[in-house]
Structure 1
């Protein structure tokens, strides 16, 4: 068994073990490897985001956090190819890096034959990579993080006329319309909700200040064709 197959097998063994867990010695005996190899494998799973932790004491061992993991999910090669196409088409857009990380996790947990079929199918889907990213990667990262953490953002913004201003805003949502992405936020300078084009935000910095929530109905009515992602 190669390492990729073993990592997948160890992950599923720990998942099935539930609260009982497995010791490093038990895993080493099951997979016919050394305890040191098991510890390296578990460390690799942890670094990949799999919620496994070491329980100390007489009944110690490796245990999966059941509340932080999904039950086994089967993806078809076509489903994985669709995810890969969506992630590629979203290159340079909000939460691009998170989408790529999620796709990597899906690929890492697929059995090797299914992963090979999905990769081969995805290679038959072409996308044009010349699309302009919506804003600087660092700016997008700050906007995404502040929106998730509900923190005030300090912006340096250049409007359509070229005027540059510094503002503090309470981020509310991200919207895509007219071929551009916007941060919809309550602007503390203007004391009103404003739409900031991501590609016109020259700098963005998170603050430790909690953001004020604005009810969605006060932001305005979305276009009839608009819809949330979730």
Structure 2
């Protein structure tokens, strides 16, 4: 990782750590550099106007001053293409359309030179995806999850049987490349997994969910993790 990219990532990590801060040793381990290098990076951030605080002694570390904001961060061409590749490779992911719109907003404010380099590099990254489920279905599922409302779906099972279910959405989960809506099925009175590609229709009702939580699914496999962690 180039130093400029490391400084950007370092400031973001400090921002996410909040009031707890991070020790120099942890930061060095995170970026695979020496503690001395991290301290030089922290000094560089402070010199550039990033409000870094430090607390010496056991339990001490580094963080950002409360209420502070970071100066605007410019993406490198590779970072911009990484975002493009991620959203392009997963058109069936939850909120994919919103992710694409967000990335486009970021690209629109890049300086012309960086954008030109990003566009040239993006031409060297291709994706070839199957057609995702209909936009109407995905939009309804996303709205139901966001608003925590019961969603009524018409579902085609693996055995070819069609049923109508009222589902309280709990989470979206990807397993072996397939996205699923996981929620409390009011018909079966149990948690059920519904492959999104098999949901033929979806309608958000006015009925609020009753509070079923992700803990009811049990422990996730060791390879699973939230998208923001």
TM-score, length-normalised on structure 1?
0.66
Q: Is the 8 A contact 2:92 2:179 kept in 1?
A: no
Tell me how far apart the structure 1 counterparts of residues 90 and 171 of structure 2 sit (CA, whole Å).
Answer: 18
Q: Is the 8 A contact 1:167 1:188 kept in 2?
A: yes
Number of aligned residues = 161
Q: Which residue of 2 aligns with 1:141?
A: 139
Tell me how far apart the structure 2 counterparts of residues 87 and 215 of structure 1 sit (CA, whole Å).
Answer: 28
- Does the residue aligned with 1:126 lie in a helix, a strand or coil? coil
Q: Which residue of 2 aligns with 1:183?
A: 181
Shift of 1:94: 2.2
1:222 maps to which of 217, 220, 223 = 220
**Match runs of 1:128-207 below 5 Å:** 128-129=128-129, 131-133=130-132, 135-207=133-205
Is residue 2:124 matched to residue 1:124? yes
Q: 1:70 to 1:149 in 2, by over 3 A?
A: farther
Q: Which residue of 2 aligns with 1:110?
A: 110
| Superposition RMSD in Å | 1.8
- Does the residue aligned with 1:218 lie in a helix, a strand or coil? helix
Tell me how far apart the structure 1 counterparts of residues 102 and 111 of structure 2 sit (CA, whole Å).
Answer: 17
Q: Is the 8 A contact 2:179 2:196 kept in 1?
A: yes
**Match runs of 1:23-42 below 5 Å:** none
Structure 1 unaligned runs (5+)? 1-66
Q: Which residue of 1 aligns with 2:93?
A: 93
Structure 1 stretch 119-128 or stretch 81-90: which is displaced more? 119-128
Shift of 1:202: 0.9
Q: Is the 8 A contact 1:155 1:203 kept in 2?
A: yes
- Does the residue aligned with 2:115 lie in a helix, a strand or coil? helix
Structure 2 unaligned runs (5+)? 1-66
Q: 1:160 to 1:91 in 2, by over 3 A?
A: same
- Does the residue aligned with 2:223 lie in a helix, a strand or coil? coil
Encode CA deviations 1:81-132: one digit per residue, 9 max, x unaligned.
1101111101233222111101110011111111111111111112223x24
- Does the residue aligned with 2:154 lie in a helix, a strand or coil? strand
Tell me how far apart the structure 2 counterparts of residues 212 and 162 of structure 1 sit (CA, whole Å).
Answer: 30
- Does the residue aligned with 2:152 lie in a helix, a strand or coil? strand
Q: Which residue of 2 aligns with 1:72?
A: 72
Q: Which residue of 2 aligns with 1:5?
A: none
- Does the residue aligned with 1:124 lie in a helix, a strand or coil? coil
Tell me how far apart the structure 2 counterparts of residues 202 and 215 of structure 1 sit (CA, whole Å).
Answer: 25
Shift of 1:179: 2.5
Q: Which residue of 1 aligns with 2:11?
A: none
Give structure 1 regions of 4+ aligned residues with deviation exceeding 6 angstroms. none
Tell me how far apart the structure 1 counterparts of residues 77 and 197 of structure 2 sit (CA, whole Å).
Answer: 35
